[in-house]
Amino acid sequence: MTAPLARLPRPPRLAYCRECGQPFYPRRHDQAFCVDACRRKRNDRERSQGRTALPLILAWRLERKPGALGALTRFADEVADGERKRRREHAAIREQVEGRVGR
């Protein structure tokens, strides 16, 4: 007789770290980062980006400083470039891992 499906251990599910893109087996269903250092790195970067963006946003919309929108746009482009680069790297890692698994 076979065990009911609900009692069988779940096979480990491969996930990819949101920061470094490396594959890992999450210990919790909502784990997004492979290690704490990656989680901290991501949080630190986002916090720092927010600290830079907020004064630019206020200069643009509250103080209506000339050139403020340009400065905000340049910063947004910088952030987007970094994110684009990270996403390309993550896609390459994923392709490498899943290409290997598929063979």
Residue 42 or residue 53: which is nearer to Zn ion going by CB? 42
Compute the distance between CA of residue 57 and CA of residue 17 in angstroms, rounded to an integer: 30
Comparison of 45 and 57: residue with beta carbon closer to Zn ion: 45
For Zn ion, give the closer residue by CB, 17 or 72.
17
- In the bound complex, what is the minimum distance in angstroms from residue 86's beta carbon to Zn ion? 11
CB 75 to Zn ion: min, Å: 25
The minimum distance between CB 63 and Zn ion, in angstroms, equals 39
Which stretches of the chain bind Zn ion, using CB under 5 A?
Answer: 17, 19-20, 34, 38
End-to-end CA distance of the chain: 33
Tell me the DSSP string of 7-62: GSPPPPPPEE-TTT--EE--SSTT---SSHHHHHHHHHHHHHHHHHHHHHHHHHHT
